[in-house]
Amino acid sequence: MAATSLFVVSWVLRWLLTATAWGALCGGGRAHTPSLSPALTPPCPTHCICLSQSQVVCNSATLRGVPSALSASVTQLSLSRADLRVLRSDAFAHLRQLRRLALDACNLTRIRPFAFRGLPRLRELYIQHTPLATVDAFAFAALQNISSIVLTHNRIAQIEGYAFAGTNFIKLISLRNNPIKRILAHAFSGLNDVAQIELPSGIRSIEPQAFAGLEGVGVLELAYMDLPAVLSDTFRGLVRVGRLALRESDLGIVRVGAFDGLQRVDTLEICNNKIDGIEELSLVQNNSVTTFKLTGNHMLETPEAVILEVENIVIRGNHVPCECGRDPLSNPLALTSDFPEENFCISPLKVRGRTLGSVSAGSAGCRGEAGGSARARASGAGARPRDALSSPQLALTAATLVFLASS
């Protein structure tokens, strides 16, 4: 029995010596002992709720800035209703994993240049229902591969030049429901490859070259505008457009050169607008417009010069002045075979709504009404020729002649 106990003690001692030796070889002389405490996680910042290490909500009105103690692993961050009045440059540079950022309903009034720089994985950015009035130059610059920038329901009245410079490959930029009245020159310069830009209604002025430097836009739609004129060079520098649409607006006068410098457009649409007049409608081969659609417009004057060097032309449903006895095919817009039957008279009143083809020489509807534009007739309606004599003047002249004859 004693021999057996001595054998066990000897075996245990040998096992301990062997284990110590292996520990010295593998652990640099230190025995490996597993940690008994879990890995420490950074504490959740004050005024925030950490749903996980990657999802953080900081919707507190007492929060005055972007929390600096946020973990670098955060991918979704909400700062809605926070008191963030100014976003400084590189405000989120310490959150390089960020994919979704919401700044809704905060007191944001200013975004400094390059505020979102250093966010290579950001996909969604929401800034809505804030008092933000101006988008400063370079405010949204240097964003790469972002899917959407949603800036709706703010107080944005102005977008300065180069606000989106260096930002590429975006699916959507939405500016709906903002009181933007004027689009400044180069407002979108340096913005490349955006699928769709949504602008608000009520725009009253578009400066020449407002879209210069915007390259590669899928859809650019300008609707519900109230313009005194579409100025020369309005679209100069706009390159690679899938569809450019001017619709449901008062376009005023379309000036000579309004579409000069526009390049590589699949479809240009001018539809359902009120147009006072078109000085010149020119789309030469340098514009590279594939399809031109002029549909459903009400024109007070027919354009005097039309040059459309495009592959496909659709001119239908327009209401234009009709001159009695004039061949509708002599209209400068008569560039398609169905033009007389697919477009209608806006004046004279007796033929309003009739097709151009039905108003021919000697038409009963034309009798007694002069041709010409609606504007010309409106300006002359009720006017009296300067050299015409009124009835009292005529009676006085007749009485004078009789008196002279009898004397």
Placement of tokens 């327009």 in the chain: 318
Q: What is the DSSP secondary-structure string of 218-231? A: EEEEEES-B-SEE-
List all residues 6 or more positions away from 356 whose beta carbon is below 8 Å from its beta carbon. Answer: 320, 322, 328, 331, 339, 340, 341, 343, 344, 345
Name the pTM for this structure: 0.76
Q: Note the pLDDT of residue 362.
A: 45
* β-bridge mates for residue 253, sequence order: 229, 277
Domain residues of the chain, as ranges? 321-372
Distance CA 255, CA 321 (A): 19
Q: Write the CA distances from 35 to 20, 38, 39, integer angstroms.
A: 19, 8, 9
Q: Note the pLDDT of residue 363.
A: 52
Rounded mean pLDDT for each run of 10 residues along the chain, 407 residues in total: 45 45 41 42 85 93 88 94 94 94 96 95 97 96 92 96 94 96 96 95 96 96 97 96 97 96 96 96 91 97 91 96 80 92 92 86 46 36 37 44 44
Q: Note the pLDDT of residue 378.
A: 33
* β-bridge mates for residue 14, sequence order: none
Q: Note the pLDDT of residue 359.
A: 82
Q: Note the pLDDT of residue 390.
A: 42
- Torsion angle (degrees, nearest 10) of CA 27, 31, 32, 37: -130
Cβ(181)–Cβ(204) below 8 Å: yes
